[in-house]
Structure 1
Amino acid sequence: MKQPFPFSAIVGQDEMKQAMLLTAIEPALSGVLVFGDRGTGKSTAVRALAALLPPIRQVEGCPVNSARAAECPDWAEVGSTRLVKRPTPVVDLPLGVTEDRVTGALDIERALTRGEKAFQPGLLARANRGYLYIDEVNLLEDHIVDLLLDVAQSGENVVEREGLSIRHPARFVLVGSGNPEEGELRPQLLDRFGLSVEVTSPTDVDQRIEVLRRRDAYEHDNDAFMKTWRPRDGKLRKRIEAARTALPSVATPEQGLRDCAELCVALGADGLRGELTLLRAARALAAFDGQDEVGRSHLRAVAPSALRHRLRRDPLDEAGSTARVARTLGDVFGPYQTAAE
């Protein structure tokens, strides 16, 4: 079985890669939505991210990946207190999935064979402390969307049916991808994604050639290809780990807070979630860059992905949301400067 395509080997799509790396550093960003044409590397990037992420430490045998024995739910009957390393969970939520498969349900086999009423964990349990990936998220059924909204709000999965009364933590980074031609996303779910990215097919001929070259090498000389790119993924993984460690100490000057608020007011972004996401993303980027405080360069870099999906539609403004963010950045921060701001 081939290993996932290396994250470092993905050509272009810099904003998408940046957004995914930021969620790996700061899980409080909640997730990233990647909308774009077919064949633009959306699913490839998610699979590559899964292989790139640093491992987690969890209690051996815990179905919700608890970091400490005291956090394992009683219903799980985990006998071990031993901590083991395992890859960060990245769980697929397929279209057409049933509610029982998502939340968990009565273990029918155990009920029939042993006469015991036991809980069989679902996808939300497996995704705790990891990622939940939904391809074609805009085609997800409404009742599953409602369920995800409840869990994303509370960070807890609650199952009350079939005589079961079960609760367990369900905190995960939500990653969704889709094609905008196939329908829009419900506003309530859209707002739950911290970052939003628009991807398009590259128009530069040399870049398209490089995509073909790397993909062909991956498929036909996989060992040599992975040998070339695995060390680069390793370096990137170390940068993520270093950024996670540094993140709590990254300072936000008073001017940075004012910049966040002024930018969101100028854009007319709904609520305060835009400011919070903008600040968290900028702080994560500063940590990734090895900086000890947030600057305007960090805010500029993350503003489109943090704010483009939070703007009200303006029938008198034909510019897209990305162009509106870029224009407002210029109005609020002034012309872009290549030197550190």
Structure 2
Amino acid sequence: MYNRLVRHNGNNDLFRAVELSAAALTSRHPFHLHAEGLRGTGKTTILRAAASQLPPIVRVRGCVYNCHPAWPHCPEHKGLDAAAIERIGREIVPCPFLEISQSAKVGTVLGSIDLARLVDRRRPAAALLPGTILQAHRGVVFIDEVNRLADTGPELVDVLLDVMGTKPGRVQVEETGLPVVEMPVEVTVWAASNPDEEPGALAQVRRQLADRFDLVVNMGRPSEYRAVTAMLAKREGEASQVAGAAGFRLGDFRGAEVGDELRTVLASIYIDFNLESLRAIEGLETAARLAAIQAGRRKVLTEDVALVAPLVLGHRTDNATLAGILKYLQALDGKREAAIEAVEPGKPQAKARTEPTEAGGATSRWGRWWEEFRRRLAAGRPKREAAEGSGAAQGTTGGGAASTASGIADPTHAVIVAPPCAAVPLSELPADKYVGGEDSNSHV
């Protein structure tokens, strides 16, 4: 289903964000995602379809809390040694993907007393019935129209703030007749909203919750005829032309190396552009690592940071600041050594990037580039008559540059001659030298 969805210029960012967030699950690192955009653009469809691509998990057999066999955390299995866990057994199950609706209550989301066990005639017991959050441990919780939920369910937002505030998050269940239950949870929150409808954008309704999302995508409409016709054809059951990926590229993002130079760049972005939340830089580093993994690399580059910066910073700063950050990253791309010298003034200056002189007088990569350019240009020139060609081969070029058999001057050998006269200040020139009338032929 997911791989058959039609990709276009309006939803490419959401596909990228979904795949980054899903890849982070394999590293046990919740990476929260929020998709904003006009109604009917397919936000919910993409997020629900991505559930089929999530990596399966291994859990203690039958555990409704999805306990990892190596790190059991629930009231039933916490404290058991490895031998006891092995006797219970383990199983592979699909990655949890649960939804929180607009009508949800705190008890259904967080947990409450298990009434079935409480009224059991044979063995009545006060036990916890886990809610959606606890059952989604190591998986995803999806909330559609999260801006409406933030407006109508402030108590549910408080739960989400605890879940998303740290990684892993935490929940605390307090019910009459039960001891206080506190558990860590590794839950990734995906959400969607229509900011143009009541009550408005999430950042306006609950800014604190908006900042908890690591990635925010502004979903757009398709602007290509081909994408729209492919969607219509798909609805009719016909084969559509889809540019879908074969699947997520999984791997522990911590294996992607972030060098000291790049961390200095991230620190400069935070300080120089006056970002408010440290979560912005933490999310930017994580997203860049995930982008490198998705690209099949183990080293994070400046281009990875630039690729994910709009997703991480778009909801945390204004457009002018984001544009400045992107220009800064663009200036760094391909000039990393010069950029590090600029942002680390205390660091020793790098040596000039020169190379030993090679045969023929060409120096460094400029000389090699010119030799290759001259060779290709000469090869493409039409053949001349023998007499004309021999005259050109023996001539010399003006300006002191050495001439070659192709008749093209080599700029690396050109003699630079100073202007014939020294520059004179404008104030010392007669007015008629730089001011002309309609009947004057003088030019500035």
* TM-score bracket for this pair, using the shorter chain length: 0.7 to 0.9
CA shift digits 1:3-36 (9 cap, x unpaired): xx32453322111111111111224353111000
* One of 275, 298, 304 as aligned partner of 1:269: 275
Question: What's the counterpart of residue 150 of structure 1?
Answer: 162
> 1:58 is aligned with what amino acid?
R
Question: What's the counterpart of residue 334 of structure 1?
Answer: 331
Residue 236 of structure 1 aligns to a residue whose secondary structure is coil
> 1:173 is aligned with what amino acid?
T
- Cα distance change of structure 1 residues 295 and 29 upon mapping to structure 2, 3 Å threshold: farther
- Stretch deviating more after TM superposition (162-171 or 302-311): 162-171
Structure 1's unaligned 5+ residue stretches are 314-320
Distance 2:310 2:148 in 1: 24
Residue 100 of structure 1 aligns to a residue whose secondary structure is helix
* One of 6, 18, 35 as aligned partner of 1:10: 6
CA shift digits 1:27-51 (9 cap, x unpaired): 4353111000111111111111100
Larger Rg over CA atoms: 2
> 1:264 is aligned with what amino acid?
Y
Distance 1:267 1:8 in 2: 40
1:282 matched to 2:280: no
- Cα distance change of structure 1 residues 263 and 72 upon mapping to structure 2, 3 Å threshold: closer
Aligned 1:307-318 pairs, distance under 5 A: 307-311=313-317
Aligned 1:20-31 pairs, distance under 5 A: 20-27=18-25, 28=29, 30-31=31-32
CA contact (8 A) 2:35 2:216 kept: yes
Residue identity over aligned pairs, in percent, reads 29
Question: What's the counterpart of residue 215 of structure 2?
Answer: 195
CA-CA distance at 1:266 after TM superposition:
4.1
CA shift digits 1:77-116 (9 cap, x unpaired): 9986311111111110001211100111011122123332
Higher RCO, 1 vs 2 (CA within 8 Å, ≥6 residues apart): 1
Q: Normalised by the size of structure 2, how large is the TM-score?
A: 0.65
Question: What's the counterpart of residue 367 of structure 2?
Answer: none
Distance 2:30 2:331 in 1: 27
Query: Cα RMSD between the aligned structures?
Result: 2.6
CA shift digits 1:171-213 (9 cap, x unpaired): 1111110000121221110011000000011122222112222
Aligned 1:172-321 pairs, distance under 5 A: 172-182=187-197, 183-185=200-202, 186-217=206-237, 235-237=246-248, 239-240=249-250, 244-245=251-252, 247-311=253-317, 321=319
Distance 2:209 2:117 in 1: 35
CA shift digits 1:207-265 (9 cap, x unpaired): 21122223332xxx6xx88xx98xx76x414x22xxx14x3321112221122222333
CA-CA distance at 1:65 after TM superposition:
0.5
- Cα distance change of structure 1 residues 117 and 197 upon mapping to structure 2, 3 Å threshold: same
Distance 1:332 1:130 in 2: 33
- Cα distance change of structure 1 residues 169 and 40 upon mapping to structure 2, 3 Å threshold: same
- Cα distance change of structure 1 residues 249 and 335 upon mapping to structure 2, 3 Å threshold: closer
Distance 2:64 2:110 in 1: 13
Residue 196 of structure 1 aligns to a residue whose secondary structure is strand
CA contact (8 A) 2:288 2:300 kept: yes
Distance 1:70 1:300 in 2: 36
Structure 2's unaligned 5+ residue stretches are 79-83, 335-444
Question: What's the counterpart of residue 81 of structure 1?
Answer: 88
- Cα distance change of structure 1 residues 106 and 29 upon mapping to structure 2, 3 Å threshold: closer
Residue 262 of structure 1 aligns to a residue whose secondary structure is helix
Question: What's the counterpart of residue 317 of structure 1?
Answer: none
CA contact (8 A) 1:30 1:174 kept: yes
- Cα distance change of structure 1 residues 69 and 295 upon mapping to structure 2, 3 Å threshold: closer
CA-CA distance at 1:327 after TM superposition:
4.1
- Stretch deviating more after TM superposition (197-206 or 69-78): 69-78
> 2:300 is aligned with what amino acid?
V
- Cα distance change of structure 1 residues 264 and 213 upon mapping to structure 2, 3 Å threshold: farther
Residue 167 of structure 1 aligns to a residue whose secondary structure is strand
CA-CA distance at 1:307 after TM superposition:
0.7
Residue 120 of structure 2 aligns to a residue whose secondary structure is helix
CA contact (8 A) 1:106 1:120 kept: yes
